[in-house]
Amino acid sequence: MKKLKNRWGISSNYQLFLILLVFAITGSSAAKLAEPLCEFLGITRESTHWSIYWASRIILIFPIYQVLLVSFGWIFGQFQFFWGFEKKMLSRMGFARLFKE
């Protein structure tokens, strides 16, 4: 855990706990929210080929996850960490121009 705290630039175990909790809640919530959104869009297991269904769910989970990560980070008082994490992750994915100041 010490290596992770050093890498993320945090000092307390409590902050590490909150960050890991936010990651856990965000992942579960994003996966859960993608299902009704798929149904709303008419993409169901019964009516869609399995590969299209799962690809659509994964594509939908990504933006939901991004929004929830910063939102839950804010709720748990870790907005600065998750905003920086979000910018770094999206920059690595080629969205750097969104964060030019």
List, for residues 6-56, the tens digit of each pLDDT value.
888 888 899 999 999 999 999 999 999 998 998 898 888 888 899 999 999
- Has residue 76 got a pLDDT over 90? yes
- Has residue 2 got a pLDDT over 90? no
The predicted structure's pLDDT at residue 97 = 67
- Of the pLDDT bands very low, low, confident and very high (cuts 50, 70, 90), residue 1 is confident
* Contact in structure between 30 and 65 (CB atoms under 8 Å): yes
d(CA 11, CA 27): 24
Q: Give the CA distances from residue 54 to residues 20, 23, 30, 35, in Å, rounded to whole numbers and listed in that order.
A: 26, 22, 14, 10
d(CA 20, CA 63): 20
Q: 96 versus 52: which is more confidently predicted?
A: 52
* Among the listed residues 75, 81, 82, the one whose alpha carbon sits nearest the alpha carbon of residue 11: 81
